[in-house]
Amino acid sequence: MKYLGFESCETTQNDPVVGNDMKMTWEEKTFKVEEIIVKNIDIRDFYIDNSAINTIEEASDCILIQYMSFEKFQKLSGNPYFTNVDKVSPTNWSSVDKPFTTEEELVRK
């Protein structure tokens, strides 16, 4: 699992209260909700360094590979950890650059 953050919020709800005279009133209750936000990851995209021989606790570093769209990647340009975002070009999958044309594409034309 990947740790995404911690969420803490207060929620208010109105609960019905029936008195001895059978009249219903509403009582406001506030409670605090605290949650750790995690996401399941594919273990095939998680790598630890070679120094870990017996257990994962011996690892000094790890890598999680994440795939994202080019547009989402371009939004990282203001992040200080990603300094060369403007030097990355998208992968082009247009039919113009293909070395051959499939039969389905010939029928479409």
Write out pLDDT tens, residues 57-92. Answer: 888 898 888 888 888 888 888 888 888 888 877 776
- With b for 16 or more beta-carbon neighbours within 10 A and e for fewer, the 4-37 pattern comes to eeeeeeeeeeeeeeeeeeeeeeeeeeeeeeeeee
pLDDT digits (tens, 9 = 90+) for 8-63: 888 888 989 998 888 888 999 998 888 888 888 888 888 888 888 888 888 889 88
Cα 27 from Cα 81, distance rounded (Å): 49
Which bin fits 5, alpha (ψ -120 to 50), beta or left (φ > 0)? left
Domain boundaries, the chain: 2-108
